[in-house]
């Protein structure tokens, strides 16, 4: 098993946190994982992308290319880069609340989820990344939902215990939306 993931958004949307959660979850499931990030020179609001490779085999020196089989576009400004970086047979998870001009995918699956709107319904747009991460888990099976719930408790529990419940609810909501869409209930 080998997954190359790209988590992208504008600064503050939590794409790096999504990637970190996947890394910690992979470690909990005894998988190999590496992560790297890119971001613009802006202090706030610039585009940010985190690349994660998850494998059951040792990972050599990771080379970041436009070859992701799992990609997430949280905002319009980074959408084109994500779209161009998905390999045939891959999946692009698109935040339809923020991406107003999606393209037609040819050769890969595009999953549209209004993650920001869903997060607002849960109480704050700041958990849109967790809504989308839940969708990724349901759509790809890369990691177990329960594993990422544990990671949320461990990662946020010490510093921001009030946010644990909301983020787990957001994960479950995104997971359920894609699970229902795919008929895997």
CA distance 57 to 31: 8
Contact predicate 46/27, CB 8 Å? no
Report pLDDT digits (tens) over 59-69.
987 666 778 99
**Per-residue pLDDT at 113 exceeds 70:** yes
Res. 161: pLDDT tops 90? no
The pair of structure tokens assigned to 147 is: 């594993």
pLDDT at 165: 95
pLDDT at 4 over 80: yes
Average pLDDT over all residues of the chain? 91
The superfamily CATH assigns to domain 2-182 is Pyruvate-ferredoxin oxidoreductase, PFOR, domain III (3.40.920.10)
- Residue 26 has φ and ψ, to the nearest 5°, of -60, -40
pLDDT at 82: 92
Higher pLDDT, 43 or 144: 144
Q: How confident is the model over 26-61, as pLDDT tens digits?
A: 999 999 999 998 877 766 668 889 999 999 999 987
Please report the pLDDT score of residue 44 as a whole number.
Answer: 66
Residue 18, both tokens: 């999504």
Q: Is the pLDDT of residue 185 over 80?
A: no
Assess whether pLDDT exceeds 70 at residue 182: no
Per the CB < 8 A criterion, the answer to whether 95 and 125 are in contact is no
What pLDDT is recorded for position 164? 94
- Chain-centre distance of CA 151, in angstroms? 14
Rounded CA-CA distance 157/139 in Å is 26
Q: Which residue has the higher pLDDT, 37 or 120?
A: 120
* pLDDT above 80 (res 174): yes
Q: Read off the pTM.
A: 0.90
Q: How many degrees, rounded to 5, is the angle at CA 51 between CA 46 and CA 52?
A: 145
Q: Which two tokens stand for residue 149?
A: 């719930």
């Amino acid at each position: 098993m080998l997954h190359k993931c790209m988590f992208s958004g504008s600064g503050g949307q939590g794409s790096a946190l999504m990637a970190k959660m996947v890394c910690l979850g992979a470690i909990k499931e005894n998988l190999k994982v590496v992560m790297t990030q890119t971001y613009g020179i802006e202090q706030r609001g610039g585009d940010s992308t985190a690349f994660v490779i998850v494998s059951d085999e040792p990972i050599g020196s990771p080379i970041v290319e436009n070859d992701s089989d799992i990609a997430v576009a949280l905002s319009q400004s980074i959408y084109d880069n994500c779209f161009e970086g998905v390999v045939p047979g891959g999946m692009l998870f698109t935040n339809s609340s923020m991406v107003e001009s999606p393209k037609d995918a040819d050769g890969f699956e595009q999953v549209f989820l209004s993650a920001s709107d869903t997060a607002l319904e849960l109480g704050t747009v700041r958990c849109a990344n967790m809504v989308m991460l839940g969708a990724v888990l349901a759509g790809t099976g890369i990691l177990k939902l329960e594993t990422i719930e544990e990671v949320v408790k461990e990662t946020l529990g010490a510093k921001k215990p009030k946010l644990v419940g909301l983020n787990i609810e957001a994960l479950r909501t995104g997971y359920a939306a894609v699970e229902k869409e795919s008929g895997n209930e």
